[in-house]
Amino acid sequence: MPRVGSVVAICLTFTAVALADPKPTAVDSKPFRAELLVFKDASGGTYVVRKNDSESRLFYGTGKVLYEQRIVGRSRNGDAWSITTWAPRIPGIRPAYFERKDDGTFQKSCDGKDDAVLTQLTGDKAKAVLDGTQLMTEALVRRPHLLARDDSGVYYYVDRLAAAYGGKGFRVFAGKKGAMKQLSLTDVASDSAGEVFSTKTGDLRLSTVQEQGTPTKATWIKGEKRTELISLDVDANSTVIFTDLGIYTFLGTLCDNI
């Protein structure tokens, strides 16, 4: 969202034809293939890890396509180490863990809800997996932008394309949990006062925070009727966004199944 004091106003007008979202792209692993470690779990999950102190990478999938995980942290304690990844379906803004323990065993941890002991593959078995799978960028190309609701439990949600895809491409949804409908977006205005997402149904307005600690104000306007909304933090409510609203199904993360 624009910061207070910004002197630049941006107004984007959308045509009636919506462009299709970009797709994940193939990752060229040849430059670091020798560094890759391969693991399997008992449920058919495959994990490919580049364990490198300067650039760790982790890919996961249950078929021939493995999607890159968004790494949010790393740690090491002697021979034990862990990679933490974004896992929006775990409550409390907690990540998933890919861990090597002190005893040399490996585990995926999803806050106790979908944990798995991992078996490392080596030699020809590891090569067969690497030869037979395709490493891809993150499966989810969108990011949460705005979440609000009214007093009757109707939610208003806006997402956008990730920064790697330009950071625009907004979509607007409204409705009860599990019954969200995408609204036809006609215009977006963004300036120092906030943002306005205009749809064929109404306008969703988000006012810029005027001073530190003051909650952002969100309003739904339909004709002459104005409904003041409760603005919700998108990180603290990630399980609402990625599970309860029903907009997203496959995320490609380690803990999709919880």
Whether residues 96 and 160 fall in one domain: no
Which residues fall within 8 angstroms of residue 38, CB to CB, at 6 or more apart? Answer: 46, 47, 48, 49, 120, 121, 122, 125, 126, 129, 130
Evaluate whether residue 41 is within a structural domain: yes
Amino acid 156: pLDDT: 98
Amino acid 52: pLDDT: 77
Which residues fall within 8 angstroms of residue 100, CB to CB, at 6 or more apart? Answer: 79, 80, 81, 82, 106
Q: What tens digit of pLDDT does each residue of 106-142 get?
A: 999 999 999 999 999 999 999 999 999 999 999 999 9
CA dihedral 133, 167, 145, 111 (to 10 degrees): 30
Residue 70, SS3 per DSSP: coil
Q: What tens digit of pLDDT does each residue of 65-89 get?
A: 999 999 999 999 999 999 999 999 9
Q: Rounded to the nearest 5°, which phi and psi values hold at 71?
A: -80, 130
Band of the pLDDT at 11, cuts 50, 70, 90?
Answer: very low
Evaluate whether residue 250 is within a structural domain: no
Structure tokens of 127? 């090569």
Residue positions counted in the chain? 258
Amino acid 207: pLDDT: 86
The H-or-E segment that residue 85 falls in is: strand 80-85
Amino acid 12: pLDDT: 40
Mean pLDDT calculated for residue range 1-15: 38
Amino acid 18: pLDDT: 59
Residue 198 has pLDDT above 90, yes or no: yes
Which residues fall within 8 angstroms of residue 112, CB to CB, at 6 or more apart? Answer: none
Give the C-alpha separation, 57 to 66, whole Å: 12
Amino acid 216: pLDDT: 79
Domain, as residue range, for 222: 10-21+140-244
Structure tokens of 229? 């909304």
Q: Is there a contact between 188 and 203 (Cβ–Cβ < 8 Å)?
A: no
**CATH code of the domain in which 37 resides:** 2.40.128
Whether residues 144 and 175 fall in one domain: yes
pTM, rounded to two decimals: 0.87
Amino acid 19: pLDDT: 74
Whether residues 129 and 146 fall in one domain: no
| Lowest mean pLDDT, pick from 33-42, 210-219, 232-241 | 210-219
Mean pLDDT calculated for residue range 245-252: 97
Among residues 98, 119, 136, which one ends one of the domains? 136
Give, as one character, the DSSP assignment of residue 128: H
Mean pLDDT calculated for residue range 168-190: 97
User: In what side-by-side order are the strands of the sheet with 10-13?
Assistant: 10-13, 185-191, 194-199, 203-207, 217-222, 225-232, 142-149, 155-161, 171-175, 181-183
| Lowest mean pLDDT, pick from 1-5, 27-31, 122-126, 135-139 | 1-5
Band of the pLDDT at 15, cuts 50, 70, 90?
Answer: very low
Mean pLDDT calculated for residue range 9-24: 60
Whether residues 87 and 183 fall in one domain: no
The H-or-E segment that residue 129 falls in is: helix 123-132
Among residues 136, 154, 182, which one ends one of the domains? 136
Average pLDDT, the chain: 90
Considering its fold, how many domains does the chain have in total? 2
Amino acid 211: pLDDT: 56
Among residues 82, 110, 136, which one ends one of the domains? 136
Whether residues 221 and 149 fall in one domain: yes
